[in-house]
Amino acid sequence: MERELAARGSAIDHLKLAATFAHLGIWELDTATGEAWRNSKHDQLFGYEEKLDSWTYDDFLGHVVDEDRERVDQLYGAALDNGDEWAFECRIRRADGLTRWISAHGRPLEGSEGRPERLIGHVIDITDTKRNEEHLRLVTAELNHRLQNIIASISGLIALAAREGGDRIENAKVLQERLKAIGRSHNLAYNTRNERVSVRDVYTSERASMPELADRVVIDIDERLAIKPQVAERLTLVVHELGTNAVKYGALSNETGRIVITSRVLENGDVELMWAETGGPEASAPERKGFGTRLIQTSLSADAHVEMNYPSKGATCRIVLPSKLVSATLG
């Protein structure tokens, strides 16, 4: 057959070249005998380094995984009975043991009795495409989940802010800044494809949101610490409130104060994050718990322990993340 094709001139040469560069397996099946002609690439797609001496429909069907075999065979029967095109995607188990996805398309050619006597077609490996589709499906599902969490967070912020009373313009401005913090957290999760978010990045992202004060905030957090995006979002809200309070009342409200943020591993494997302010006005506990204070104390309550203290030298915030929430193993 290959010699016959070669004798037909340059058009066939172009077809062979296109098939080679497209990694396309080409085949022609005799429906009466089940025997098939195919090019070398066809057999390579099925895991054979060298082209086999023969190939039949049963050989092909034997490579199709059990879960897909009946469907593929039924489509083949329909192509013969109704003259339909034989188009399908399925998984195959190659000769080398690898499981791959293929896409095949065959067209029936009728004989003298009006019944298909041959099928001609092509097959191509689509495993990478299928993997990308699955990854996209997972990412989309995660993004949808994240969107629902963000909507819930926004609704909660609005509801709590509405209870505060006070100046509506100031409340709107504060709420806007909190929503921006949620947006920064979302960007961190997106940049890591929604897998894990660096704890250090949560703090540095919030520091970057106030560039004129950034050189007075020292972050000494182990770069290996990482948490789930949902926890990172709640941690971002806490860090944002700490920074806002520091600008209004604490270490960043004058020209000399500074903040040092550190991390360490406790004896039980939990991770401690410490926010310590110094050099600002003398600190004291707030007379009443406003929205910001409640946000700091409750945002992470389901995930971690949060403890605020107000020694005279400056406010501190101690956050203890359970070891199960942190992906890094530190020593």
| Residue-wise pLDDT tens digits, 175-194 | 677 777 777 776 776 665 55
Q: Cα dist. 18→4, 5, 49 in Å?
A: 18, 15, 20
Q: Say if residue 131's pLDDT is above 70.
A: yes
Architecture of the domain delimited by 130-325: 2-Layer Sandwich (3.30)
Residue 41 structure tokens: 């690439």
Residue 218 structure tokens: 């020292």
Least-confidence region, from 9-23, 177-191, 238-252, 303-317: 9-23
Instruction: Name the band, by pLDDT with cuts 50, 70 and 90, for residue 164.
Output: low
* Cβ contact 276:264 at 8 Å: no
| Residue-wise pLDDT tens digits, 227-278 | 988 888 889 888 988 998 999 999 999 999 999 999 999 999 999 999 999 9
Global confidence as pTM? 0.55
Residue 80 structure tokens: 């013969």
**Domain positions in the chain:** 2-125, 130-325
CATH superfamily of 2-125: PAS domain (3.30.450.20)
